[in-house]
């Protein structure tokens, strides 16, 4: 993977069209900004119950976006990341329809996980309570077969996302088909979506079990054999992330977004500095994604202390709600049709109260943290919350999933805060010091991060007491300085 900034985007929601239009943006107005692009689910259909994360056909590009040839064209100049939706498929898929029609006679019967597969004698209340799930209620959904028999299928997320039995021959064949297609189509990086839920065992949380770690490792090795790298997508307690990082190619630093917000809200980098001392180095860094702003990643777990304590987490969430003038409250938790109850749905720009200086400071800190940075399309363009789309769909995460067209993108690229962000992206992409050694010092409101190596040095200094931030670089005896406040003028 290139050590350059990557873009995260839906092909249709960013370009106003499909994959061809996305490619035009990447080679036109966005040329030179990104070493890679994570194209969010482009499989059929892109407008299911979970915005493409519930594929009816994982091996088919939605025709409204294009075809696999369009993916190959993008891959010729930009590393492509795609989602391998490991845990589930749509209840409307041909495979599950065959199961409903033919029951145990279906060739796909074993592909889908059922309660009886893990709990052959039935599940007890204690066993059910031990299962970790990102939404309230039972993790099983009753489905009636054509014969009249009713079966409890495992549905970790929604009742239309049927969990795959990845240990079955049919489940393994399904994943192998998609992996091979990715490799043949130029995909270089695979995001293993919800892989932590893939292996279930009785009397466990059924999340990140030892068997799940082994499965992720095996799947990653197979992807490596096909010339691809894998990223594990797991929201969890921070120590779990550190453990996961030692067993996979890369992980996401999901603790970073709330910790940067906490730092800016309180003018204190101490909690962030503590995390960066132990954070995985083989990570992708994000501030925003197609999901909400994760909270669980920085908070406590039961009696185990987090990077932030419960009171700090509560204050963080309330400050986001206040900065967004209550808009995030309308999109979070039980207020909308949310799959995830441990995330705050809000654009990162709105979470910071649309404060341009703090937003650029947040991005600068992200780019100087260990890992390969990703920038979500809404964050690239410093988008505000899309309350019209939220009201229309009543899907909480749609508040930060706007539909844009080329004219809207070009207008946003002209905003001073976006121009400043583009400068930071170009700096991060071109300074070879970021391939060197990382160092950090922190004294409350003062943060200094340096990278040094390959005859180059990059230094970020932030003083939140004075609201000042400066970047200095030197490379082959050529020095440059960037005052972040001046990037807005």
- The annotation places the binding site for sucrose at 88
Residue 281: CB atoms within 10 Å: 11
- List b or e across 196-235, with b for residues whose CB sees 16 or more CB atoms inside 10 angstroms: bbbbbeeebebbbbeebbebbeebbebbeeeebbbbbbbb
Q: Which helix (H) or strand (E) holds 294?
A: strand 293-294
Annotated catalytic residue, options 163, 233, 297, 386: 233
Could you count the other beta carbons within 10 Å of the beta carbon of residue 105?
10
Q: Could you tell me which residues are annotated as the binding site for substrate?
A: 50, 191-193, 233, 290-291, 340-343, 397
CA 1 – CA 217 distance, rounded (Å):
18
Q: Using alpha carbons only, give the angle 248, 250, 256 rounded to the nearest 5 degrees.
A: 130
Token pair 């995030």 is found at 328
Q: Phi, psi at residue 186, to the nearest 5°?
A: 90, 5
Per the CB < 8 A criterion, the answer to whether 300 and 306 are in contact is yes
For residue 53, report the phi and psi dihedrals to the nearest 5 degrees. Answer: -85, 15
By 3-state DSSP, what share of the chain in percent is helix, strand and coil, each rounded to 5?
40, 20, 40
Catalytic residue among 54, 95, 163, 193: 193
In whole angstroms, give the CA distance from residue 122 to residue 8. 42
Task: Give per-residue burial for 427-446: e unless 16+ CB within 10 Å, then b.
Answer: bbbebebbebebebebeebb
Catalytic, 233? Answer yes
Cα(80)–Cα(98) distance, integer angstroms: 33
Distance CA(61)–CA(129), nearest Å, equals 38
Report the alpha-carbon distance of residue 373 to residue 114 in Å, rounded: 38
CA dist., res. 4 & res. 112, Å (int)? 39
| Run of H or E residues at 459 | strand 456-463
319: part of which helix (H) or strand (E)? helix 310-323
Tokens 């690229």, residue located = 413
Output the six-digit token pair for 441.
Answer: 């010092």
Compute how many other C-beta atoms are within 10 angstroms of the C-beta atom of residue 185. Answer: 18
For residue 255, give the nearest of 314, 298, 285 by alpha carbon.
298
- Do 270 and 382 touch, CB atoms closer than 8 A? no
d(Cα 382, Cα 421) in Å, to the nearest integer?
Answer: 9
Annotated binding-site positions: 50, 88, 191-193, 233, 290-291, 340-343, 397
193 an active-site residue? yes
SS3 224: helix
Euclidean distance between CA atoms 272 and 298, whole angstroms? 10
Active site residues: 193, 233
């Amino acid at each position: 993977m290139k050590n350059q900034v990557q873009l995260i985007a839906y092909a249709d929601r960013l370009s106003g069209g499909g994959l061809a239009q996305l490619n035009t943006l990447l080679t036109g107005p966005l040329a030179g900004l990104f070493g890679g692009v994570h194209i969010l689910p482009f499989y059929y259909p892109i407008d299911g119950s979970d915005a493409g994360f519930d594929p009816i056909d994982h091996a088919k590009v939605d025709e409204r976006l294009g075809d696999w040839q369009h993916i190959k064209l993008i891959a010729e100049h930009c590393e492509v990341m795609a989602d391998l939706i490991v845990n589930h498929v749509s209840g409307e898929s041909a495979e599950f329809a065959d199961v409903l029609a033919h029951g145990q006679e279906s060739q796909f019967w074993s592909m889908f996980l059922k309660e009886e597969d893990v709990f052959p004698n039935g599940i007890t209340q204690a066993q059910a309570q031990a299962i970790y799930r990102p939404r309230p209620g039972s993790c099983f959904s009753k489905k009636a077969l054509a014969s009249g028999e009713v079966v409890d299928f495992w549905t970790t997320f929604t009742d239309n996302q049927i969990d795959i039995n990845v240990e079955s021959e049919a489940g393994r064949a399904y994943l192998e088909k998609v992996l091979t297609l990715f490799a043949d189509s130029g995909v270089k990086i695979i995001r293993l979506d919800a892989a932590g839920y893939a292996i279930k065992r009785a009397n466990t949380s059924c999340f990140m079990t030892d068997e799940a770690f082994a499965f992720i490792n095996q799947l990653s090795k197979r992807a490596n054999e096909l010339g691809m790298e894998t990223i594990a997508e797991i929201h969890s307690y921070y120590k779990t992330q550190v453990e996961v990082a030692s067993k996979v190619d890369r992980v996401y630093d999901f603790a970073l977004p709330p910790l940067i917000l906490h730092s800016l809200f309180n003018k204190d980098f101490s909690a962030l500095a503590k995390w960066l001392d132990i954070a995985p180095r083989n990570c992708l860094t994000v501030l925003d994604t197609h999901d909400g702003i994760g909270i669980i990643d920085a908070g406590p777990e039961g009696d185990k202390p987090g990077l932030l304590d419960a009171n700090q987490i509560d204050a963080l969430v309330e400050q986001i709600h206040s900065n967004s003038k209550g808009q995030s409250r309308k999109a979070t938790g039980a207020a909308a049709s949310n799959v995830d109850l441990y995330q705050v749905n809000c654009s990162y720009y709105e979470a910071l109260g649309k404060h341009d200086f703090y937003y650029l400071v947040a991005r600068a800190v992200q780019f100087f943290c260990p890992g390969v940075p990703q920038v979500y399309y809404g964050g690239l363009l410093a988008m505000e919350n899309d309350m019209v789309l939220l009201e229309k769909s009543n899907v909480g995460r749609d508040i930060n999933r706007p539909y844009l067209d080329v004219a809207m993108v070009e207008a946003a690229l002209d905003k001073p805060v976006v121009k400043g962000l583009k400068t930071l992206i170009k700096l991060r992409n071109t300074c070879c010091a970021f391939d060197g050694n990382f160092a950090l010092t922190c004294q409350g409101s003062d943060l200094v991060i340096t990278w040094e190596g390959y005859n180059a040095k990059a230094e970020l200094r932030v003083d939140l007491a004075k609201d000042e931030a400066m970047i200095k670089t030197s490379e082959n005896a050529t020095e440059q300085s960037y005052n972040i406040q001046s990037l807005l003028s």
